[in-house]
Amino acid sequence: MEKIVVFQTAFLGDLILTAPLLKSLKRTFPSGELHLVVRKGLETVFEGFWPVDRVIPFDKRGIWKFAQELRREKYTLAVSPHRSHRTSLILFLSGAKRRIGYDKAGFSFLYTDRVKHEFKEGLHEIDRQLRLLEPLEQEVEVTYDKEPELPVSQEEVERVKGKFSLKTPYAVLAPGSVWPTKAWLPEYYAEVANFLLKRGITPVLVGGKGDSTYCNRCFSFMEGGVNLCGRTDLKEFFAVVKGAKVVVSNDSSPVHVAVSVKTPVVEVYGPTVPAFGFFPYGRGNWVELELPCRPCGIHGGKRCPEGHFRCMKELKPEAVIEKVRELLSV
């Protein structure tokens, strides 16, 4: 019997996009045991998710001790969509017989199988991750399941609606970002919110505690709505998104949450571009401004390298509102 570990200790959005990889592994090895290593604090993301038998939180402070804990599991297969030196080293020390990772990962020579990692137009991160299973095709018939998925019940949706007194229909707006240059202007989000209000749709702001500056500024320009920034746990956040009519978000995790729970989404691009592979998979829309300085980095940054921030300042609310109109027919 296969005993498999998948190592994905990146941020929330990256973890969510690992779902098809997990599903494909479980469908390929239905009697196997599948463990998932995640960043500490994200253990609940795939709680109750059918392919995963165990979720293991990773504590960065004890690499050697953690590797020894994995070694005791006697994994037959390790797969890593995470490209850090640390991940490669830990999986090597874990003693997993077969270790599959990317050719551009740090210490990639520690993997038994290396798969090409590339950014190109039209290649989504989900499909990039599923390439990690190609080396297995020599021994087994790999069953690919590309559909994004998050375990969120309708009962949980109704519960959070009641807890936060959400009036339906409502739309979710996610103005925050870990990277400041990826955040569309709060006053522009507010214009989208006010457009929705005029059409009987309640705008609901979401985000973590670190997004409060963006959300509070946005809310100050709004004519009504609900500010849930910092008030939900992860499971509640997923349920709020699932119950929405539409989501508007920067290039960040709410986009992938929306796709995974089948809520229409509009993604706002600034310093990053769809060619990096993080556009709404298989559904949704995005808006962007074509500029010669884009992209300026895979993650964006703390400030605009050119000093003008045109990619966001000149991307007006009307462009996003038009996409929302198309999705909702309002």
End-of-domain residue from the set 138, 173, 200: 138
- Choosing from 138, 162, 194, the residue where a domain stops is 138
Which pLDDT does position 329 carry in this prediction?
A: 87
Question: Do 232 and 177 share a domain, yes or no?
Answer: yes
CB of 268 within 8 A of CB of 315? yes
pTM of the model: 0.96
Is residue 294 in a domain?
Answer: yes
Q: Taking a C-beta distance cutoff of 8 angstroms, is the pair 271, 250 a contact?
A: no
Strand 54-58 and strand 265-268: the pairing is unpaired
Q: Return d(Cα 92, Cα 132) in angstroms, integer.
A: 17
Angle 85-93/63-71 helices, nearest 10 degrees?
Answer: 40
- Domain-located, residue 146: no
194 and 100 share a domain? Answer: no
- CATH code of residue 53: 3.40.50.2000
Q: Which of 109, 138, 167 is the last residue of a domain?
A: 138
The Cβ-side half-sphere exposure at 167, using a 13 Å CA radius, reads: 8
**Same domain, residue pair 129 and 222:** no
| CA–CA gap between residue 130 and residue 111 (Å, rounded) | 17
Strand arrangement of the beta sheet that strand 113-115 belongs to: 54-58, 33-39, 3-8, 77-79, 98-102, 113-115
pLDDT at 284: 65
Q: How far apart are CA 94 and CA 69, in angstroms?
A: 8
- Tell me how many domains the chain contains: 2
In this predicted structure, what is the pLDDT of residue 312? 98
Residue 48 lies in a domain: yes
Instruction: Tell whether 66 and 112 lie within a shared domain.
Output: yes
Assigned domain for 149 exists: no
Residue in 127, 158, 138 with CA at minimum distance from that of residue 243? 158
Domain extent, residue 166, equals 154-328
Residue by residue, pLDDT tens for the chain (330 residues) are: 899 999 999 999 999 999 999 999 999 999 999 999 999 999 999 999 999 999 999 987 789 999 999 999 999 999 999 999 999 999 999 999 999 999 999 999 999 999 999 999 999 999 999 999 999 999 999 999 999 999 999 999 999 999 999 999 999 999 999 999 999 999 999 999 999 999 999 999 999 999 999 999 999 999 999 999 999 999 999 999 999 999 999 999 999 999 999 999 999 999 999 999 999 998 769 999 999 999 998 888 899 999 999 999 999 999 999 999 999 988
Tell me: do 86 and 9 sit in the same domain. yes
- Do 31 and 132 fall within a single domain? yes
Write out the two tokens for 19.
């779902």
* 174/183 Cα distance (integer angstroms): 9
Residue closest to 128 by CA, chosen among 140, 119, 136, 141: 119
Separation CA 254–CA 125 (nearest Å): 15
- Is residue 298 one of the residues assigned to a domain? yes
Which residue bears the tokens 């790999």? Answer: 142
Among residues 190, 265, 179, the alpha carbon closest in space to that of 221 is found at: 190
Residue 209 has φ and ψ, to the nearest 5°, of -60, -30
Amino acid in the structure at residue 261: V
Q: Is the dihedral of CA 127, 284, 264, 202 positive or negative?
A: positive
Is residue 51 located within the same domain as residue 88?
Answer: yes
**Residue 147 located in a structural domain:** no
* The pLDDT of residue 330: 83
Distance CA 46, CA 19 (A): 9
The CA distance from 198 to 107, in Å, is: 55
Q: Do 176 and 125 belong together in one domain?
A: no
Tell me if 303 sits within 8 A of 180, measured CB to CB: yes
- d(CA 310, CA 100) in angstroms, rounded, equals 41
| Domain assignment present for 289 | yes
By the 8 A CB rule, do 66 and 37 touch? no
- DSSP-assigned letter for residue 105: S
Residues 211, 316 within the same domain: yes
311 plus 183 within the same structural domain: yes
Q: Is 124 exposed, middle or buried (0-12, 13-18, 19+ CB in 10 A)?
A: buried
Task: Give the model's pLDDT for residue 191.
Answer: 99
Domain shared by 174 and 122, yes or no: no
CA–CA separation, 120 vs 118, rounded Å? 6
**Nearest of 289, 265, 236 to residue 174 by alpha carbon:** 265
Largest CA distance in the chain: 60
Indicate the angle between helix axes 212-221 and 186-198, nearest 10 degrees: 50
201 with 319, same domain: the answer is: yes
Q: What share of the chain is helix, strand, coil (3-state, %, to 5)?
A: 40, 15, 45
Residue 322 lies in a domain: yes
